[in-house]
A and B are shown apart, each in its own frame.
Chain A
């Protein structure tokens, strides 16, 4: 599923991919995490693709390794993003019940209302 359009220039990694596959939130969170090893830049392109430019902070960085790590992290971030959407109601219910508890029967009704 890896998109082809990567271009390795002098110590710079350009990764392009279809924006419909990954949410912007997942892309930005991946770039954020990569700031420990790279300067990151994101651009959107006309043909609905996203371009990420990674410039390693260390001269000795292994570009292939960075690219592999980037794809792995991007997929995990996309899963997390989808999980967050899936879990947001349940999470809120757990925290609410923890700090403002209601009876078991009332909790059951609340859960029904949220159509979980």
Chain B
């Protein structure tokens, strides 16, 4: 009973943070307190006219007046943070073929030989998949073509695009397309088609030639750097710089050379990079390309420092993982990044349609099925209804077991609002959808990265904060400085 106390405490989570204590409210707003002030807060000894009290009051962690308003405001902010739940599945990944003209050492898609057309999505399945996609209540539909190499089944890609555009004349959704391609088979004609239908390209670039060619090779074993560099240039000329993006994978070959990877991205005209970890599926494990979390984190930290310095020197480049987390920490808005939300985006944020019409909660779930475990198969577009697939037990279980608000250790974690859960990875790595946080790499990595960013925010170096805000708002540092002055 708090009513006899001089003030009322509202829900918050806390964590010792160097000499101080970090407190985060239900909506992700935070404050640092000294240990002494924290002890005073808990024992109701804070002066209600002190600066600390007023700061805590502004974050809705305490109140000495009617609690209705802070509860009302907190509820509104909480609703905004969770607004990604309003729309249901927006991202639909189509595996149009398992065939690939590359055989990358870490490939999690376990691709098939170029000649094996039995692994292509056929017309009937493609139609059924698109019909299923348009049953989603989401006002935005993003169709992402993956493989294998989707350009090897480009006729089906074209069919899906055109059939979706036709259906959208009735549904009026915001329709977007992305093709994830290694660019080996791209040509002027395909680029013209992509341009005509506003299809964006997401390609793969692991770094300069020696690093890229160590992992990304053709089926005959030769490096792909020269050809893809040429084709990135061509694609950017035809589609415009902003419509061609690239992703990198960190392996033991480039983990200690991330600066070189960043330089290569700049050289190729990219202004953002996503320093991604290797997923522990498929060939990556067999080829022993991994590293431990500490190794990744130490190198990630150095790379982030390098990127921040580049920005301070006038070069525009952002790091996407940091941007996602910073947006979660510093703004009231959700990010729509399915790998870091609660509940997880499995099925409700993203669905993956296999070449044969099987629907999975994520691409990792599809990989598990390839390895013989169909635990996260939601159904098949040829046999099941939308309700059976998206409201079935597989989706429900994945959601129920990925709410950080109720997971062991996450439920008390001060970083909870900025973090998420991945039931498929938990299941694969720890044999349990809920997972075991103390030994989970997902937890270790997110904890370290969020903590590092929080440390930088706490330092409150104006130059670094300007860089962060330029990433979050997608504006130049000069514009941010102007806003600060204004």
Chain A residues near B50: list those with CB within 8 A.
Answer: none
Rounded to whole angstroms, the CA-CA distance of A79 and B42 in the bound complex is 9
Contact mask A73-113 → B, CB, 8 Å, 1/0?
Answer: 00011011001001100110111111101001001100100
Does A35 belong to the interface (CB within 8 Å)?
yes
Rounded to whole angstroms, the CA-CA distance of A36 and B448 in the bound complex is 15
Give the residue of B2, B12, B26 whose beta carbon is less than 8 angstroms from that of A116.
Answer: B2
Does B16 belong to the interface (CB within 8 Å)?
yes
Q: Are B8 and A116 in contact (CB under 8 A)?
A: yes
Q: Are A98 and B75 in contact (CB under 8 A)?
A: yes
* Shortest beta-carbon distance from B166 to chain A in Å: 36
Give the residue of B11, B13, B438, B439 whose beta carbon is less than 8 angstroms from that of A94.
Answer: B11
Does A23 belong to the interface (CB within 8 Å)?
no
Give the residue of B1, B12, B72 whose beta carbon is less than 8 angstroms from that of A97.
Answer: B72
* Shortest beta-carbon distance from A31 to chain B in Å: 10
Q: Which of B62-87 contact A (CB under 8 A)?
A: 66-68, 71-72, 74-76, 78-79, 82
Chain B residues near A34: list those with CB within 8 A.
Answer: 438
Q: Which of A51-74 contact B (CB under 8 A)?
A: 72
Number of interface residues of A (CB under 8 A): 30
Chain B residues near A41: list those with CB within 8 A.
Answer: none
Number of interface residues of B (CB under 8 A): 31
Give the residue of A33, A91, A98 whose beta carbon is less than 8 angstroms from that of B11.
Answer: A91
Q: Are B68 and A94 in contact (CB under 8 A)?
A: no
Majority-rule SS of B interface residues: mixed
Q: Are B67 and A32 in contact (CB under 8 A)?
A: no
Does A12 belong to the interface (CB within 8 Å)?
no
* Shortest beta-carbon distance from B342 to chain A in Å: 13
Chain B residues near A83: list those with CB within 8 A.
Answer: 9, 11-12
Does A29 belong to the interface (CB within 8 Å)?
yes
Give the residue of A35, A99, A115 whose beta carbon is less than 8 angstroms from that of B79.
Answer: A99
Rounded to whole angstroms, the CA-CA distance of A115 and B4 in the bound complex is 11
Does B14 belong to the interface (CB within 8 Å)?
yes
Chain B residues near A87: list those with CB within 8 A.
Answer: 9-11
Q: Are B71 and A97 in contact (CB under 8 A)?
A: yes
Does B264 belong to the interface (CB within 8 Å)?
no
* Shortest beta-carbon distance from B338 to chain A in Å: 21
A94-B71, A94-B74 known; A33-B2 Cβ under 8 A: no
Q: Which of B194-227 contact A (CB under 8 A)?
A: none
Which residues of A come within 8 Å of B, CB atoms?
A: 29, 32-36, 72, 76-77, 79-80, 83, 86-87, 90-91, 93-99, 101, 104, 107-108, 111, 115-116
9 nearest interchain CB pairs?
Answer: A97-B75, A36-B438, A87-B11, A35-B438, A98-B79, A98-B78, A98-B75, A108-B68, A80-B412
Q: Report 23 cross-chain contacts, Cβ distance below 8 Å, ordered by A residue.
A: A29-B408, A32-B437, A36-B438, A72-B16, A77-B412, A80-B14, A83-B9, A86-B2, A86-B9, A87-B9, A91-B11, A91-B26, A93-B71, A93-B75, A94-B71, A96-B75, A98-B78, A98-B79, A99-B82, A108-B68, A111-B67, A111-B68, A116-B2
